[in-house]
Chains A and B, each alone.
Chain A
């Protein structure tokens, strides 16, 4: 089983490594880090803050957008181009195929996040800013966010077109990032609106858990520039993310299992 999942993951990695857009995204991230240096110089003694904020935002933003871009095509194109015919006719279960595709994409995204983080560390070093434990935690959280978003994208890709999957995944990501704000905003609404919003928020992963900087966590304001979240928080956020990844992949496997490849 592991061998077959690994074979699909390896092939997915090979496929992604040949997508030129990914190299464009890497260049874009490197460019945004250079921009952070310029913006830092323009700010009034806020070089460190700008450097960390731009670097970390770059990882989460570009990482998540890349996850959506790769994820929405992942299963759809296999069916559309009929490449899947020569694969699922071999002794591989469809769920193994879905897991292999996700694993391959996760490897690509992990490498991208590592590259983005290295670019940020390079920029921080250039700015004579040390890499604090808070920055390491923030990078790990951003990585968790990217992998969760990838699972959202692959879930939609198991039954929908890339265009619709992209819209759904973007919406789910955006809502997941601001669920506390939405909750706060609907407290003043009618009971019907509150009930509907509560159900809607239940079916969206709490992606905001991966970007706690600037929020109040357990009664304390946390910031990547000062007091940040504990390692325990990072672990819990990952458990939440992994739970969603497992649930979304299970649903994707179920939907993919029922499909006809005509």
Chain B
């Protein structure tokens, strides 16, 4: 049984005064299997956060259905077993991290002793032990994101739903979050997270869904989604600063020359051996040769960018 099962989920808003219809979700359908890390990706306004808020019972769907851990949404029984980090989390800024976790623990009905133990463990885990006595008002965005992750894990959930968990984090913070997500998977938990950062999703997600304009554009494992066709070959060579490299760059794209270093991409069907032989004849020294396959970013740009550009116009 799927941990999250979404069928033809639709949400239509009406603007406050003109009562104009806005279709935020237009029939979203997907499933998340137990123990998987599921990446939900899409541009701004695609419907990611609306989908997540609908699943978490913050928004009522106009039509369609969804179940979480076998319970139809909105379900209090399911929420006992789910941890949720909202997008750009806003918490009561007069609380300390300990007080925030205590409040979360009380809402889950966790006993006082257990609450304290879990809170201490989580504060250490998300690296906020040094800020224990500070109110959340004094927290940076990254620290708030960590506090949000801690409160989402307070009930030791089976399913963790994270809306943009790496947003606002520096590279170290992003890596910490990625590691935490992988750790949760190792513990047998299911993680559903949305992100703009495609490399994060590609690095850790078992399955990915791309959403745009309130509809799913693609859905599958990263390897199913991206073609294994070679898009090109990235080559870097050393050449004399005054060498004429016109012949070498004729069929290439993305040519960059910096002093005696030349970087370019050859077409996917190029005869790389012949090209390298000719480069050596011209006195070049090869630094790197790397085939380039389609990435999630390429797929995302192919699926989403044309529509986003059209919308922008």
Contact = CB atoms under 8 A, between A and B. Distances in A.
Interface of A: 3-4, 6-7, 10-11, 14-15, 18, 81-83, 85-93, 260-262
Nearest to B94: A18
Contacts of A10: 106
Contact of A15 (B50, B86, B92, B104): B92
B132 interface: no
B213 interface: no
A14 B95 contact: yes
A260 B151 contact: no
B92 A88 contact: no
A6 B79 CA distance: 19
Contacts of A11: 92, 95, 103
B226 to A, nearest CB: 33
A261 B94 contact: no
Interface string B74-101: 0011011010101011111011000100
A253 to B, nearest CB: 15
B134 to A, nearest CB: 15
Contacts of A90: 79, 84, 104, 107-108, 155
Nearest to B155: A90
Given A89-B57, A260-B58, 18 more contacts: A6-B106, A11-B95, A11-B103, A14-B92, A14-B95, A15-B92, A82-B90, A83-B90, A85-B89, A86-B84, A86-B90, A86-B151, A89-B56, A89-B58, A89-B84, A90-B108, A91-B109, A93-B76
A261 B60 CA distance: 9
- Closest CB pairs A-B (n = 8): A7-B106, A85-B86, A90-B107, A261-B58, A89-B56, A89-B84, A91-B79, A82-B90
Nearest to B104: A90
A94 to B, nearest CB: 9
Interface residues of B, number: 32
B58 A88 contact: yes
A83 B137 CA distance: 13
B13 interface: yes
Contacts of B103: 7, 11
B94 A15 contact: yes
B44 to A, nearest CB: 15
Contacts of A82: 86, 88, 90
Contacts of B173: none
A72 B33 CA distance: 44
A13 to B, nearest CB: 11
A74 to B, nearest CB: 13
A109 B302 CA distance: 59
B201 to A, nearest CB: 22
B60 A260 contact: yes
A262 B53 CA distance: 7
B203 to A, nearest CB: 27
Interface string B1-43: 0000000000001000000000000000000000000000000
B270 interface: no
A215 B58 CA distance: 49
Given A4-B107, A260-B60, A261-B59, A85 B76 contact: no
A91 B107 CA distance: 7
Contacts of B104: 86, 90
A83 B92 contact: yes
Contact of B91 (A14, A18, A83, A261): A83
Given A14-B94, A18-B94, A88 B57 contact: yes
Contacts of B56: 85, 89
A260 B59 contact: yes
A90 B81 CA distance: 9
Interface string B96-133: 00010001101111000000000000000000000000
A15 B86 CA distance: 21
B292 to A, nearest CB: 41
B148 interface: yes
Interface string B44-77: 0000001001001111100000000000000011
12 contacts: A11-B103, A14-B92, A14-B95, A18-B94, A83-B90, A85-B53, A86-B89, A86-B104, A90-B107, A91-B80, A93-B76, A260-B58
Contacts of A261: 53, 58-59
Contacts of B53: 85, 261-262
A3 B106 contact: yes
Given A85-B58, A262-B59, A92 B107 contact: yes
A15 B104 CA distance: 16
Contacts of B95: 11, 14
A261 B57 CA distance: 9
